[in-house]
Structure 1
Amino acid sequence: MPKKPKAAAKPLRHLRPTDLRAVTQLATQATRGVTTMSEGVHQAVWSSMGASSHGASKARARGITGFVYRAVHGVTELVGRGLQAAFTKMEPLLENLVDEPPETYGREAVLAALNGVMGDQLAQNHNPLATPMTLRWQGNVLNPHAMPPMPGATGKVLLLIHGLCMNDLQWRAMPQEGGKPQSDHAAALSAELGYTPIYLRYNSGLHTSQNGRKLAALLEQVLQHWPVPVEELTAVVHSMGGLIIRSATHYAQQDNLHWPTQLKNIVFLGTPHHGSPLEKAGNWVDVILATTPFSKPLAKLGQLRSAGITDLRYGHVLDADWQGRDRFTRTPDSRQSLPLPEGVACYTVVATAASKRSPLADRLIGDGLVPLASGLGEHSDPRHNLQFAKTAQATVYRTPHMALLNSPEVTAQLLQWLTPAKPAQRAGS
């Protein structure tokens, strides 16, 4: 019997009325950026031939050539603003004609990646594609001023925070043909230990401390309106999410908020407490490209990466770690020290793609993104050493960074750590 043909895909299901304006803004920025780089390379070549700039900027062309570049910039800006104004007027009409489609896994994955790479610029330009910070329960946004009905909610709140270029939907196990079995950490902790999971969705391109401050305030509001008394708050955090919960806890305590007193456990999964070598390599690329006049304009390509990404160079968690500094200048680690929060049981799971531990694999391989020492909070400077207890550390092997989200081995470790110890029986009972 012939197989039933699959229904034709509907690409428009991913689109929203605001997307036309958002994409136009991105296209305008991209065109102006490419034009600026082209002008810079043109000037570098021109200068190498001994041509004088007569006091003009070395990055800006003069004469007829300069006029052409300025015209391209001007026309691009004019067309971009005109299209954005037109699409802004069209949006109410489109919203009335088309029902708001439900979010799709594919669209949210693309938006999460885009926000991770350039989310700071999206937010700065008020681009509709910038992801606002929200807490979600069963797919519903938790508005502190109008909380949705939450039948079955318990006083044990489980907060899950994703990492860079990710979103809350990626905590769920996705079926894979022929792949490793996957697990849903939140579902297991809910079923076995009675937790009510809530998920954070945020713009991972912003500075970690900016997201930390936002989370501190949002969590305070949501827990104040929780439908039942909150008994405890436990956080399971992946990658950059670990830096954000540390930042949020610090600023919440600084502002005398209540929720840190309810915070009982934090489990870090592959968090780069002391940075990631990939961002350090990106910074080296900036330095190398800037060493010659021909490649210097191309250094702007590396500088498109977001504030969130550059915070991963050393693991920034505080405003003081980045404020007043050029984040693309190569500088030594000058972070403020921030220990793990007092009175909170902190655990860390690290992964390695290797089959067993070795000094070379730990330093060079790790999970592909985070070296083991960074994930374990180990540092040669005692001020930055986070000192996780040995019993609060776990290593999973043959596991890449992203697999920590759905690893059955990680789920088992979470259950082991978070299951309350049974009280000792009295003699004769």
Structure 2
Amino acid sequence: MPSLTPLHETYCRWDRRPPSQADVLEGLAQLTTTSLSGVHEIVQFVHREMVLKTLGLSEEQSRSFQKGPRIEKLYQFSYQVLKKYGDYFLAPGLRQIIETFPKLHEMSLSPSMHYLVGALNGVLGDYFLKHQNPLALPTILYDHYGSEHHGEVRGHVVILVHGLCMNHLTWNHSDYGGVAEKLLAQRDHNTMLYLNYNTGRRISANGHSFANLLQDLVKRNPEITKISLIGHSMGGLVSRSALFYGKQELHDWIDLVENLVCIGSPHHGAVLERVGFFLQDSLGRMPFLNRIGKLANIRSNGILDLRHGSVRDDDWEHMQARIGVMDDNRKPAPLPSKIKTFLVAGTIENQRTQSKTLAAIGDYLVSVRSALGEHPNPRFQLKVPESRKAVFYGLNHFEIQYHSSVAEQIAKWFYPAENEAADIRVNEYVKEIDLETMF
């Protein structure tokens, strides 16, 4: 999947309109008829080299076996069935539904559709853009009640930015009130808005779009007095990217930003993403798996940027390759000094265990050091005061987004009591976990 430049993505025709239910059906119809060219070759190659050779067959015997009438017929049947049902059954069936129910063009997505579309965008979002698939999500704001935001806002505006494969609804949880509810309870004229965006795009491309959206928001709402950005996982990186480019473009909204909160954000990369690329590169060097590298293109550009936490265009735009283990070629993206930045990390480690292995794993996806912006190279350190960092033990990557203890800590940071200590790192939450059953 070739990468798109931020300029190209900015002018895609879905930049302002969220998909309707009809768009989702049409997008799925297009996806079911996507060419499978090359995939069957990879499957057959791996099958021959990994399975047949374990039976002691030679290269010639392996090829001869696969070319046998029954085996060849099985391969052809498998791929032709999917192709047939995609071209002649699934896609026409989905389009028939749209034609039968034209009101689907006017119907917004249900919560389950939001989750489906958000997940698909995380994996294939750049592909959707390249092929003009209506499943490609725009960069838009929703209100606290799940509707697209159109009204006026004033006072303190808090914007929550979700992570990879997620959507604006993932900030709510049936068991916890969440960050938004906690801040609304402060009765400080807070307005909660939720960014929804295509997480398969480059993080810096989403940063540009977010910065432009915020500029438009403050231009239309001159009574906004301050802005707070709260990002979970990739959402923290997109917020940092927006701040970086908003400052470069001398946007008005930059002067209104008071707080930035990053929850479990991989500022220096996600461990599992780098491990995945290392394994893939290693497998690709083996003679019998040298084609497996083609499968790297399943990863979206947004996922690629999580490898080292890239938030700038020049972190990636001059690179030729998308696959393999690449050095950390990031450029520093310092945080604006006048903005109060708060960093939250989760860890599945029990505080009493102090396991080095679990500490490296962090919250399953992001290590504690990465989430807290700590790096051995001073150029990349985010240099956030210890009093603005929090580690929550026993919480995984998804729990820290909405857990009540995290929400409580953010509320304390935004509205500190006069007698609260401000010189130590806060470790607010220790959860008892059963390490024997965890894995």
Interval of TM-score (by shorter of Structure 1 and Structure 2): 0.7 to 0.9
Q: TM-score, normalised by structure 2?
A: 0.77
- Does structure 2 conserve the Cα–Cα contact (< 8 Å) formed by 1:158 and 1:233? yes
Alignment of 1:255-334 (within 5 A): 255-325=249-319, 326-334=321-329
- Give 2:128's match in structure 1, choosing from 117, 122, 125: 122
After TM superposition, give the deviation of residue 86 of structure 1 in Å.
Answer: 6.8
Deviates more, 1:89-98 or 1:347-356: 89-98
2:14 matched residue in structure 1: none
- Does structure 1 conserve the Cα–Cα contact (< 8 Å) formed by 2:349 and 2:393? yes
Q: Measure the CA separation in 1 of the matches of 2:210 and 2:291.
A: 37
After TM superposition, give the deviation of residue 23 of structure 1 in Å.
Answer: 2.2
The reply to whether residue 110 of structure 1 matches residue 116 of structure 2 is yes
The reply to whether residue 397 of structure 1 matches residue 393 of structure 2 is yes
Counterpart AA for 1:404: I
The reply to whether residue 218 of structure 1 matches residue 213 of structure 2 is yes
Deviates more, 1:204-213 or 1:337-346: 337-346
Counterpart AA for 1:294: F
After TM superposition, give the deviation of residue 32 of structure 1 in Å.
Answer: 2.6
Alignment of 1:361-380 (within 5 A): 361=357, 363-380=359-376
- Does structure 2 conserve the Cα–Cα contact (< 8 Å) formed by 1:17 and 1:94? no
Q: Measure the CA separation in 2 of the matches of 1:262 and 1:33.
A: 51
1:233 matched residue in structure 2: 227
2:23 matched residue in structure 1: 18
- Does structure 2 conserve the Cα–Cα contact (< 8 Å) formed by 1:134 and 1:200? yes
Residues 27-56 of structure 1 show CA distances to partners (whole Å, capped at 9, x for unaligned) of 33363352342466599899x8479xxxxx
- Does structure 2 conserve the Cα–Cα contact (< 8 Å) formed by 1:116 and 1:309? yes
Counterpart AA for 1:135: L
Going from structure 1 to structure 2, the CA distance change for 1:360 and 1:422 (only over 3 Å counts) comes to closer
Q: Measure the CA separation in 2 of the matches of 1:87 and 1:108.
A: 22
Q: Measure the CA separation in 2 of the matches of 1:42 and 1:190.
A: 56
2:412 matched residue in structure 1: 416
1:355 matched residue in structure 2: 350
Counterpart AA for 1:349: V
- Does structure 1 conserve the Cα–Cα contact (< 8 Å) formed by 2:122 and 2:303? yes
Going from structure 1 to structure 2, the CA distance change for 1:20 and 1:234 (only over 3 Å counts) comes to closer
- Give 1:207's match in structure 2, choosing from 202, 208, 212: 202
Q: Measure the CA separation in 2 of the matches of 1:361 and 1:76.
A: 43
2:391 is paired with a residue of what secondary structure? strand
After TM superposition, give the deviation of residue 204 of structure 1 in Å.
Answer: 0.6
Counterpart AA for 2:349: A
Counterpart AA for 1:364: A
Q: Measure the CA separation in 2 of the matches of 1:369 and 1:162.
A: 15
2:15 matched residue in structure 1: none
Gaps of 5+ in 2: 1-18, 62-66, 68-74, 420-439
Q: TM-score, normalised by structure 1?
A: 0.79
After TM superposition, give the deviation of residue 294 of structure 1 in Å.
Answer: 3.0
1:169 matched residue in structure 2: 169
Counterpart AA for 2:216: Q
After TM superposition, give the deviation of residue 80 of structure 1 in Å.
Answer: 7.1
After TM superposition, give the deviation of residue 417 of structure 1 in Å.
Answer: 0.6
Deviates more, 1:305-314 or 1:129-138: 129-138
CA RMSD of aligned residues (A): 3.5
After TM superposition, give the deviation of residue 224 of structure 1 in Å.
Answer: 1.4
Percent same amino acid at aligned positions?
33
Q: Measure the CA separation in 2 of the matches of 1:74 and 1:170.
A: 38
Going from structure 1 to structure 2, the CA distance change for 1:387 and 1:25 (only over 3 Å counts) comes to same
Residues 78-108 of structure 1 show CA distances to partners (whole Å, capped at 9, x for unaligned) of 9978999978986874453557445322221
After TM superposition, give the deviation of residue 281 of structure 1 in Å.
Answer: 1.2
Q: Measure the CA separation in 2 of the matches of 1:315 and 1:49.
A: 43
After TM superposition, give the deviation of residue 198 of structure 1 in Å.
Answer: 0.5
1:236 is paired with a residue of what secondary structure? strand
- Does structure 2 conserve the Cα–Cα contact (< 8 Å) formed by 1:20 and 1:87? no
Q: Measure the CA separation in 2 of the matches of 1:85 and 1:110.
A: 18
- Give 2:146's match in structure 1, choosing from 139, 143, 149: 139
- Does structure 2 conserve the Cα–Cα contact (< 8 Å) formed by 1:208 and 1:311? yes
Q: Measure the CA separation in 1 of the matches of 2:147 and 2:286.
A: 52
1:383 matched residue in structure 2: 379
After TM superposition, give the deviation of residue 140 of structure 1 in Å.
Answer: 2.5
Q: Measure the CA separation in 1 of the matches of 2:295 and 2:375.
A: 31
1:57 matched residue in structure 2: none
Going from structure 1 to structure 2, the CA distance change for 1:98 and 1:276 (only over 3 Å counts) comes to closer
Aligned residues: 382
1:18 is paired with a residue of what secondary structure? helix
- Does structure 2 conserve the Cα–Cα contact (< 8 Å) formed by 1:21 and 1:87? no
After TM superposition, give the deviation of residue 367 of structure 1 in Å.
Answer: 1.0
Residues 278-329 of structure 1 show CA distances to partners (whole Å, capped at 9, x for unaligned) of 0001101321231234323333234301111111111000011111221212
- Does structure 2 conserve the Cα–Cα contact (< 8 Å) formed by 1:25 and 1:84? no
1:281 is paired with a residue of what secondary structure? helix
Counterpart AA for 1:141: E
1:200 is paired with a residue of what secondary structure? strand
Going from structure 1 to structure 2, the CA distance change for 1:354 and 1:75 (only over 3 Å counts) comes to closer
Residues 123-162 of structure 1 show CA distances to partners (whole Å, capped at 9, x for unaligned) of 21111222111111132323xxxx33x5xx4310001001
Residues 402-425 of structure 1 show CA distances to partners (whole Å, capped at 9, x for unaligned) of 0112111111111111016669xx
Going from structure 1 to structure 2, the CA distance change for 1:41 and 1:411 (only over 3 Å counts) comes to closer
- Does structure 1 conserve the Cα–Cα contact (< 8 Å) formed by 2:228 and 2:258? yes
Going from structure 1 to structure 2, the CA distance change for 1:393 and 1:19 (only over 3 Å counts) comes to closer
Q: Measure the CA separation in 2 of the matches of 1:401 and 1:41.
A: 34
